[in-house]
Amino acid sequence: TRSPVTVTVTGAAGQIGYALLFRIASGQLIGPDTPINLRLLEIPQAVKAAEGTAMELTDCAFPLLRSIEVTDDTRRAFEGTNIALLVGARPRTQGMERGDLLEANGGIFKPQGEAINANAADDVRVLVVGNPANTNALIAQAHAPDVPAERFTAMTRLDHNRALAQLAIKLGVGVDEIRRLAIWGNHSATQYPDLFHAEVGGKIAAEQVERQWMSDEFIPTVAKRGAAIIEARGASSAASAANAAIDHVHTWVNGTAEGDWTSAGVVSDGSYGVPEGLISSFPVTARDGRYEIVRGLDIDEFSRPRIDASVQELVDERETVRGLGLV
Ligand code: NDP
């Protein structure tokens, strides 16, 4: 066994938290021989519920689970943290403007960024799941000047997985036969799932489907899947979101397969016309514990305006949080 890893989960009493924690504790986040110390952060009124989940985690007698601590103290929650999963966020309520939502989330992600900066382990890696994930990640990152910016990421892996599954169904292949799919931009309805570099059976996926299916079915199905699940299930997607969070961190730590890539919201270095500093989804490889943007792809005429529109939304969100003094 290796040395233990401290994993902090915020919003631990929420429904994603409930689907996530048992998988972390069973060893699926990092690997089967890394012991886990869990820290669960909740707001005071949800601490009791999180303690209930902690009791169940104890009752699983997971061999790798070394400790569980529940707290409502942000500073304590991130003390010595190696992996921070920021799941808790302020949900959009009816009649709430986007600016209000970003402001409310600023009140959560600014202190969390500060606490990570002050207390986390030197190798801390942060994944933001709570929406609006890209801009929440930007806010946290802006308040952690001593942590390399690349350690702050936002989750678009669920969008990636949804796109893989829809394409596999369309072509009648297994998801394991698809390589090099990519989600670009914001984790929102404007996101762009790109099939022009994706390969199925060694051939480009975009050439194996009709253009109209791509624009009228595939892209909207992937982008609006969250709403479709709420409609069907009567509750938002939780297990699939938790699964994607596990995938995101597992890949970050263990790497992508040779010749393949995945999708993650990472800090832009200006590649592909995405303004530097924005946290945008890109095709990424992972190696030696680092996500790297895939370089040198040609962006075709179908993709360019779609990527630009999603990136513009990120620019607008950054302007809004700048106006609020949050970044
Ligand atoms: P969930 O666990 O269902 O969701 C948590 C966050 O994940 C939301 O912001 C949600 O965004 C987001 N999310 C991202 N991707 C997805 C997806 N594919 N499907 C669904 N959600 C997604 O919310 P709950 O309300 O059940 O739980 C939230 C918990 O967070 C509560 O227990 C609350 O007390 C806690 N909280 C903790 C804080 C802290 O620790 N400091 C701060 C704020 C809240 P969206 O709603 O837009 O779908």
pLDDT at 257: 97
pLDDT at 148: 98
Residue 17 marked as a ligand binder: yes
ipTM of the complex: 0.94
Look at residue 298 and tell me whether its pLDDT is greater than 80.
yes
Mutate to test the pocket of ligand 1, among 131, 135, 230, 263 (most ligand atoms within 8 A of CB): 131
pLDDT at 97: 84
As a whole number of angstroms, the distance between CA 89 and CA 103 comes to: 11
Q: Is the CB of 14 under 6 A from ligand 1?
A: yes
Look at residue 198 and tell me whether its pLDDT is greater than 80.
yes
Residue 142 marked as a ligand binder: no
Q: Is the CB of 50 under 6 A from ligand 1?
A: no
Q: Is the CB of 91 under 6 A from ligand 1?
A: yes
Given the structure tokens 């007698």, which residue do they identify? Answer: 61
pLDDT at 96: 86
Residue type, 268: S
Helix axes 15-25, 239-254, angle to 10 degrees: 40
- State pLDDT tens for residues 142-183: 999 999 999 999 999 999 999 999 999 999 999 999 999 999
Q: Is the CB of 219 under 6 A from ligand 1?
A: no
- State pLDDT tens for residues 58-105: 999 999 999 999 999 999 999 999 999 999 999 888 888 888 899 999
What mean pLDDT value characterizes the chain? Answer: 97
Look at residue 1 and tell me whether its pLDDT is greater than 90.
no
Q: Is the CB of 42 under 6 A from ligand 1?
A: yes
pLDDT at 2: 86
Q: What angle do CA 117, 76, 61 make, to 5 degrees?
A: 120
Given the structure tokens 């190798």, which residue do they identify? Answer: 123
- Span 189-206, average pLDDT: 97
Mutate to test the pocket of ligand 1, among 8, 15, 16, 18 (most ligand atoms within 8 A of CB): 16
- Model pTM greater than 0.80? yes
Contact 92/312 with Cβ under 8 angstroms? no
Look at residue 231 and tell me whether its pLDDT is greater than 80.
yes
User: Which one from 143, 160, 187, 197 is the annotated catalytic residue?
Assistant: 187
- Cα–ligand 1 centroid distance for 214 (angstroms): 30
Residue 112 marked as a ligand binder: yes
Indicate the SS3 state at residue 169: helix
Q: Which two tokens stand for residue 252?
A: 């970050």
Domains within the chain, CATH numbers bracketed: 5-154 (3.40.50.720), 157-317 (3.90.110.10)
Q: How many alpha carbons lie under 13 Å from residue 21 in its C-beta half-sphere?
A: 32
Q: Is the CB of 326 under 6 A from ligand 1?
A: no
pLDDT at 5: 98
Residue owning the nearest CA to atom 19 of ligand 1: 237
**CA distance readout (Å), 109 to 26, 180, 255, 290:** 28, 32, 27, 23
Q: Is the CB of 222 under 6 A from ligand 1?
A: no
Residue 12 marked as a ligand binder: yes
pLDDT at 94: 82
**Cβ-proximal residues to 224 (8 Å cutoff; 6+ apart), any chain:** 189
pLDDT at 174: 98
- Cα–ligand 1 centroid distance for 87 (angstroms): 5
pLDDT at 91: 82
Look at residue 236 and tell me whether its pLDDT is greater than 80.
yes
Look at residue 26 and tell me whether its pLDDT is greater than 90.
yes
Look at residue 251 and tell me whether its pLDDT is greater than 80.
yes
pLDDT at 325: 93
As a whole number of angstroms, the distance between CA 237 and CA 249 comes to: 19
Residue type, 113: G
- Span 255-274, average pLDDT: 98
Residue 132 CA, closest ligand 1 atom number? 47
Residue 17 CA, closest ligand 1 atom number? 2
Residue 88 CA, closest ligand 1 atom number? 30
Does the active-site annotation cover 187?
A: yes
